[in-house]
């Protein structure tokens, strides 16, 4: 009888373990399915039809020097709510003669993982002269220009600049997208809060600082928040998926 009781207890323990394992597998599958769900995303150009796209991570002109994993087409995606707010930004700026140029928006986690592999390969410095000439790769990581997680993967962040519609040219921001250094900080040569320009030798001009502030002010007016070290980077304050890092590929979505 005692032996039977022990066998029953062992069986119950094994069954409980199997059930726990099944639940863990089911939970992992549920999380994976959620990160692959693009149903709440839209093509930005379906919402902001006059936006110009220059998707840097689809090509090779970027700090890695290669197409990023997960960029299957040169399109820009965002959550619907973020894209609607970006449309308000576009309409606002259009009255002042500007349209938007987008470098990146939704970025799958697999692309962020690609960034990390690049960051950890200290021998790969082929693009250093173009994007981070004054930093080591370790400093690029330490100063959080590259991180293991990105707000872009949550779907409501965008990297962008302005285009002068009358001239058909990018507005001069005094620096290029994805330049890693203090020159890219919004407060470089000025105060974004007071809009006071602080000239310094070798710095950006007052016009370049002002141009950055035009973009910044429009984004803030319509619900986006800035990043401290990139003048081109903005995230919707009330983003719908603050804790989800999506991983479906960047490719054209059906119109919704």
> Degrees (nearest 5) of the Cα angle 51, 79, 27?
150
Q: Which one of the listed residues 72, 183, 230, 239 is annotated catalytic?
A: 230
Q: How far apart are CA 89 and CA 216, in angstroms?
A: 10
Nearest to 100 by CA among 193, 184, 218, 238: 218
Name the one residue in this structure whose structure tokens are 């809009």. Answer: 195
Residue 158: φ, ψ to 5°: -140, 145
SS3 for 64-84 is CCCCCCCECCCCCEEEHHHHH
The helix or strand, by DSSP H or E, that contains position 206, with its residue range, turns out to be helix 206-221
Q: How far apart are CA 103 and CA 32, in angstroms?
A: 27
Q: Which two tokens stand for residue 170?
A: 């990018």
Handedness of CA 194, 199, 202, 206 (dihedral sign): positive
Q: How far apart are CA 166 and CA 62, in angstroms?
A: 28
44, 86, 91, 252 from 50: Cα distances, Å: 10, 12, 10, 17
Q: Residue 50: left (phi > 0), alpha (psi -120 to 50), or beta? A: alpha
Q: How far apart are CA 31 and CA 244, in angstroms?
A: 9
Q: Is there a catalytic annotation at residue 230?
A: yes
Catalytic residues: 230
């Amino acid at each position: 009888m005692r032996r039977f009781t022990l066998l029953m207890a062992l069986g119950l323990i094994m069954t409980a373990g199997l059930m726990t394992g099944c639940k863990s597998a089911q939970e992992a599958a549920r999380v994976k399915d959620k990160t692959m769900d693009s149903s709440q995303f839209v093509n930005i150009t379906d919402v902001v039809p006059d936006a110009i796209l220059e998707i840097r991570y689809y090509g090779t002109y970027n700090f890695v020097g290669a197409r990023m994993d997960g960029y299957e087409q040169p399109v820009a995606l965002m959550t619907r709510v973020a894209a609607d707010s970006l449309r308000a930004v576009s309409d606002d700026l259009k009255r002042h003669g500007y349209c938007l140029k987008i470098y990146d928006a939704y970025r799958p986690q697999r692309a962020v993982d690609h960034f990390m592999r690049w960051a950890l390969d200290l021998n790969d410095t082929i693009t250093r002269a173009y994007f981070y000439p004054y930093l080591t790769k370790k400093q690029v990581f330490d100063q959080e220009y590259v991180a293991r997680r990105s707000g872009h993967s949550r779907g409501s962040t965008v990297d962008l600049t302005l285009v002068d519609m009358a001239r058909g040219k990018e507005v001069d921001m005094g620096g290029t997208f994805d330049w890693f250094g203090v020159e890219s900080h919004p407060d470089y040569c000025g105060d974004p809060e007071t809009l006071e320009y602080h000239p310094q030798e070798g710095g950006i001009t007052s016009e370049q600082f002002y141009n950055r502030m035009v973009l910044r002010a429009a984004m803030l007016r319509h619900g986006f928040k800035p990043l401290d070290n990139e003048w081109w980077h903005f995230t919707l304050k009330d983003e719908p998926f603050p804790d989800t890092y999506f991983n479906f590929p960047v490719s054209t979505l059906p119109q919704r």
